Amino acid sequence: KNEVEQSPQNLTAQEGEFITINCSYSVGISALHWLQQHPGGGIVSLFMLSSGKKKHGRLIATINIQEKHSSLHITASHPRDSAVYICAVRNFGNEKLTFGTGTRLTIIP
């Protein structure tokens, strides 16, 4: 079992829909990152969380430390949100980053 599991692996939705991507992890962590990767490779850090909830524009990220679970929500989705979203956890203790396999999101106009 991977230390970081994401679901779904692929998600296709219509423009305007509310999107939720989930991340579950099995290790103790000091922080969790949500990353966005567009075709061509570049990765952008969206959020870094250690507790609670953060919001940036149409994106919201939540984390439940007790349940070892985080969600990334996108409100009023737009075709430009189409990308791969990756969850990464920083292991408590050795501080190494471990990545989920990513969720490929496609928003259809």
Partner 1 sequence: KAGVTQTPRYLIKTRGQQVTLSCSPISGHRSVSWYQQTPGQGLQFLFEYFSETQRNKGNFPGRFSGRQFSNSRSEMNVSTLELGDSALYLCASSLDGQRNTIYFGEGSWLTVV
Beta carbon of residue 74, minimum distance to partner 1 (angstroms, whole number)? 19
* 81: three-class secondary structure by DSSP: helix
56 part of the interface to partner 1, by CB under 8 A: no
30 part of the interface to partner 1, by CB under 8 A: yes
Stretch that binds partner 1, among 17-25, 42-50, 52-60, 71-79 (CB under 8 A): 42-50
Contact yes or no for 5/98 (Cβ under 8 A): no
Q: Which of 32, 88, 89, 105 binds partner 1 (CB under 8 A)?
A: 88
Distances (CA, A) of 11 to 8, 39, 68, 79: 6, 16, 22, 13
Q: Which of 12, 51, 64, 95 binds partner 1 (CB under 8 A)?
A: 95
Q: How many CA atoms lie within 13 A of 18 on its CB side?
A: 3
